[in-house]
Amino acid sequence: THFGFQTVPEETKESLVRNVFDSVASSYDLMNDAMSLGVHRLWKDEYIALLKPGAKGPVKCIDVAGGTGDIALRILDSARERYADRETSVDVVDINTEMLKEGYKRFKKTMYHNTSQIAFHEGNAQALNEEKFPSNTYDLYTIAFGIRNCTSVPDVLKEAYRVLKPGGTFACLEFSRVNNPLFGALYDQYSFSVIPLIGTILTGDRASYQYLVESIRKFPPQPEFAKMIADAGFTTGGMFEGKGGAWRDLWGGIASIHTGVKV
């Protein structure tokens, strides 16, 4: 392990993930800003700008590991503001009820509250309820900073493939691998010392934050993840045509966007 941190056994992973999100649910959005110095907002904006929800008419979206609804809100705002679309809808799915409650509270203050544009559901990305989330239903599947917390990435991809309509888009925003060794070393210093420290100060829960940092290191690098998406049946990289590669790196690979289209 790096810097003396212990490797977390897979069976304790789900309970750790639950704990960390339980303890931070109410301050999650603040934590995100604190840890990424606000940069997650830029990445999320770029992600939505790439996906252009509503550009070709209203779309039915599912935002998995959607937490407090940050991506859902951006999808709906973008569709409305750019394309005057008030019919695009998002089903937010998350394993953690505390996060969903925060999302519900947040949407109460928006014009989408009590409309068919938004719904919150408890569910596991690896095994979505087939009655609630039937096959071939969605035009767009988003998952932002969530897939690395899941025990089986192939199971998540399989479910994403199942619920998407043929021609539908899978889009994942996730922490990734930094390409430049010098920048990588600085980023390691930051994440291994600053993130657990901020986590401790804000939640008193250092172990969970150490785990989160380690989960970023354990997540497959960009080419390997792109291959997993292709193995699940998706055509990868269509969105980045002419720009090279099956994914787009953000900030030198601190995060990346991978997309796939259901054949």
Taking the complex as a whole, the smallest distance from the CB of residue 92 to ligand SAM amounts, in Å, to: 9
Cα-to-chain-centroid distance, residue 123: 15
For 145, the 3-state DSSP assignment is: coil
Alpha helices in 25-88 (DSSP H): 28-36, 39-51, 70-83
Collect all residues with Cβ–Cβ distance below 8 Å to 254 and sequence separation of at least 6.
175, 176, 178, 187
Which of 8, 16, 17, 90 touches ligand SAM by CB under 6 A? 17
> Going residue by residue from 136 to 165, which x/- string records binding to ligand SAM, judged by CB under 6 A?
--------xxx--xx---------------
Between CA 247 and CA 223 the distance in angstroms is 8
Number of residues lying near ligand SAM (CB under 6 A)? 19
Residue in 8, 71, 157, 160 binding ligand SAM, rule: CB under 6 A? 71
| 65 near ligand SAM, judged by CB under 6 A | yes
Distance, CA of 212 to CA of 127 (rounded, Å): 22
Note whether 67 binds ligand SAM by CB under 6 A: yes
Q: Which stretch binds ligand SAM (CB under 6 A): 1-9, 53-61, 82-90, 123-131?
A: 123-131
Q: Which is nearer to ligand SAM, 11 or 241 (CB)?
A: 11
Which backbone phi and psi does 156 adopt, to 5 degrees? -60, -45
The answer to whether 162 and 91 have CB atoms below 8 angstroms apart is: no
- The H or E element spanning position 236 is strand 234-236
115 among the known binding-site residues? no
The minimum distance between CB 28 and ligand SAM, in angstroms, equals 7
Could you say whether residue 66 binds ligand SAM (CB under 6 A)? yes
Encoded tokens for 77: 């705002």
User: Which positions lie near ligand SAM, rule CB under 6 A?
Assistant: 17, 21, 65-67, 70-71, 94-96, 99, 124-126, 144-146, 149-150
